[in-house]
Amino acid sequence: MGTSFGPVDAARWIAVPGPADDKYTRGVVGLVTGSARYPGAAVIGVEAALHTGVGMARYHGAGRPTRLVLQRRPEAVTAEGRVQAWVVGSGQDPDDLDELTAAHRDRALADPVPTVIDAGALPFVERVAGTRVLVPHAGELARVLGRDRSEVLAEPAASALDAASRYSAVVLLKGHTTRIADPGGGLLEVSAAPAWTATAGTGDALAGVLGALLATHALELEADPGCAAPLAATATVLHGLAAERAGRGAPFTVLGLCAELPAVVRELLAG
């Protein structure tokens, strides 16, 4: 039904910095992820974004996730400032979120730049001012559509397309085959990841990879918001190939997946 999207396609969507670039022209991604309940999701998203390649990652959240992010990645910037893309909602429960994080979330959702909307931010999709990229798993998409999870699993492509049309969004429905639906009815399919990828936290990493790709393609997205769909497919390819490299037919950890991202980028650029 959809168009298959693979490594050759993905290689076209990796921004390579040139001699005239600085950290700001490369692109800054902002993350409002994690919470007291799920602090690790904050660390994973930042780790994934930095390993995908970005000029800067800004992180905004509560005290504990912020400390953990800085402990792992001192290069993360916690001061507020402009970003070219946001990642919002991984590791958050909208019914159990502190006021500071909720305020950061609401500011990010109102910023008219491309925004990755994950997990706890999905209920707020209609508030998102910029180009919307939803990254639900089947259970989350079911809640977004008001359907049963079994219905989404039975008709994944149609479900993703429905949500894309309803919310004028790119919808990346995660799974062994990941479907990327756009509001115009386009559908891309990516099957790059081993089934070992079904482990807690890999979705948080995917959101970070995608945030980095959106931030480093700000000019392309401004000229054509439709670029969000191939960029979402590219994130899925990078993530799947990094999972394959991290596990090589065996289990792996999410930080191990993130550590493989630069090698995957190198391989794709080498052709």
Ligand X SMILES: NC(=O)C1=CN([C@@H]2O[C@H](COP(=O)(O)OP(=O)(O)OC[C@H]3O[C@@H](n4cnc5c(N)ncnc54)[C@H](O)[C@@H]3O)[C@@H](O)[C@H]2O)[C@@H](O)CC1
Task: State the residues that interact with ligand ADP by CB under 6 A.
Answer: 137, 174-176, 178, 193, 195, 197-198, 200-204, 206, 239
Instruction: Check the annotation: does 256 bind a ligand.
Output: no
Instruction: Check the annotation: does 178 bind a ligand.
Output: yes
∠198-202-203 over CA atoms, to 5°? Answer: 100
Q: What is the dihedral of CA 173, 45, 191, 4, to 10 degrees?
A: 70
DSSP 269: H
Task: Considering the complex, state which of residue 159 and residue 197 has its C-beta at the smaller distance from ligand ADP.
Answer: 197
Instruction: Check the annotation: does 101 bind a ligand.
Output: no
Task: Considering the complex, state which of residue 38 and residue 167 has its C-beta at the smaller distance from ligand ADP.
Answer: 38
DSSP 67: H
Instruction: Check the annotation: does 66 bind a ligand.
Output: no
In contact, 57 and 49? CB cutoff 8 Å:
yes
Task: Considering the complex, state which of residue 205 and residue 218 has its C-beta at the smaller distance from ligand X.
Answer: 205
**Residues making contact with ligand X (CB under 6 A):** 38, 40-41, 90-92, 119-120, 137, 139-140, 200-201, 203-204
Task: Considering the complex, state which of residue 134 and residue 221 has its C-beta at the smaller distance from ligand ADP.
Answer: 134
In our burial notation (b when 16+ CB lie closer than 10 A, e otherwise), range 8-19 reads ebbbebbbeeee
- Out of ligand X, ligand ADP, none, what residue 176 binds, judged by CB under 5 to 8 A for its kind, is ligand ADP
The tokens of 20 are what? 């005239």
- Out of ligand X, ligand ADP, none, what residue 156 binds, judged by CB under 5 to 8 A for its kind, is none
DSSP string, 142-177: HHHHTS-HHHHHHSHHHHHHHHHHHHTSEEEE-SSS
- Please identify the residue of the shown chain whose CB is closest to the bound ligand X: 40
84 burial type by CB count under 10 A (0-12 exposed, 13-18 middle, 19+ buried) = buried
Instruction: Check the annotation: does 204 bind a ligand.
Output: yes
- Out of ligand X, ligand ADP, none, what residue 178 binds, judged by CB under 5 to 8 A for its kind, is ligand ADP
- Out of ligand ADP, ligand X, none, what residue 175 binds, judged by CB under 5 to 8 A for its kind, is ligand ADP
Edge to edge, the sheet with strand 170-173 lists 3-4, 187-190, 178-181, 170-173, 132-134, 115-117, 85-88, 28-32, 56-59
- Out of ligand ADP, ligand X, none, what residue 40 binds, judged by CB under 5 to 8 A for its kind, is ligand X
Instruction: Check the annotation: does 137 bind a ligand.
Output: yes
Host H or E run for residue 33:
none
| Binding site members for AMP | 174-178, 203
| Binding site members | 41, 91, 137, 174-178, 203-204
